[in-house]
Amino acid sequence: MTTSSATRKQTPSQARSIGSIRRAELSRAAFEAVVLYGLRKTTLEKVGDLAGVSKGVVLHHFKDKGALLEAVFRRSNTLLGDAFVELCKHADNPYERLWAIVVANFFGTIFNRKVCQAWVSLSAEVAHSSQCQRVQAACNARIQSNLCHELKHFLDDEDTQRSAHLLSLLIDGLWVRAGLQAEPLTSANAISDMEYAVLKLLPNDKQSVARHNEARQKMENVASILLGSKAYTNQTFRV
């Protein structure tokens, strides 16, 4: 009773407080602003405008600009993680789960020049916040753990660790490139690069290659249905 008095909000149908809703709106608007204008030209006022409120409101919900960007960063990573979880529900074996990870990271809706640029900006911006370093570390650890969980079906312990690490590095590399490179880096290209790496790191006899191919195509299909239908585009990373 006394403990719950801290969170005094209790609208039975709506669990979230207005504050948390606003914070979500604002971090979404902030991400949009970074995508639209670039980090350097993203001001609190523009974020407020995009959310339909005044600049002051932004600072009322986030103690400073850093905290706002921190929230955006956390939110982006969460969404990326969610995409993987969603995709994983339709993956039935190690091959498919492996490709669920890859496809979740590179599917067209969230993998494009502007978004990757924003991601790089945010990462750089947020690097001094120890809070965000933990988020980032947790995110990397999660991806790596997910990769390990699947790769161990194909490799021994030592190689599983190293390969998972390499693949996660490759993912980061592709995101940076996509953000910096002038000519756009398509999802197909990125996934193809990952495929080449996977086939070099894992057993690549004829049968394995075929199963990887099959799994990749299935997850790409699932992704295009899931991310296309579910209004993921409007809700999250629309550009």
Q: Which residues bind DNA (CB under 7 A)?
A: 5, 8-11, 17-19, 22, 41-45, 53-57, 59-61, 63-66
Residues with Cβ within 8 Å of 127's Cβ and at least 6 positions away in sequence, in order, are 133
201 touches a copy of itself by CB under 8 A: yes
Q: Which is nearer to a copy of itself, 67 or 176 (CB)?
A: 176
Helix axes 157-180, 94-106, angle to 10 degrees: 20
Binding mask of the shown chain, residues 28 to 47, with x at each position contacting a copy of itself by CB under 8 A:
----------xxx-------
Q: Shortest approach of DNA to residue 27 CB, angstroms?
A: 13
On whether the CB atoms of residues 232 and 80 are closer than 8 A, the answer is no
228 binds, among a copy of itself, DNA, none (CB under 5 to 8 A by kind): none
70 touches a copy of itself by CB under 8 A: no
On whether the CB atoms of residues 188 and 196 are closer than 8 A, the answer is no
59 binds, among DNA, a copy of itself, none (CB under 5 to 8 A by kind): DNA
- Other beta carbons within 10 Å of 166: 14
The pair of three-digit structure tokens given for residue 11, joined into one six-digit string: 């609208």
125 touches a copy of itself by CB under 8 A: yes
Q: Which is nearer to a copy of itself, 169 or 210 (CB)?
A: 169
176 binds, among a copy of itself, DNA, none (CB under 5 to 8 A by kind): a copy of itself
Residues with Cβ within 8 Å of 75's Cβ and at least 6 positions away in sequence, in order, are 24, 27, 28, 31
Tell me the CA distances in angstroms from 123 to 119, 151, 217, one per residue in order: 6, 28, 31
Q: Determine the Cα–Cα distance for residues 220 and 190; give it in Å rounded to an integer.
A: 13
Q: Determine the Cα–Cα distance for residues 143 and 159; give it in Å rounded to an integer.
A: 16
**Segment near a copy of itself (CB under 8 A), from 16-24, 74-82, 175-183, 206-214?**
175-183
On whether the CB atoms of residues 29 and 42 are closer than 8 A, the answer is no
101 touches a copy of itself by CB under 8 A: no
230 binds, among DNA, a copy of itself, none (CB under 5 to 8 A by kind): none
Interface with a copy of itself (CB under 8 A): 38-40, 117, 120-121, 123-125, 127-128, 130, 133-134, 136-137, 140, 162, 165-166, 169-174, 176-177, 179-182, 193, 196-197, 200-201
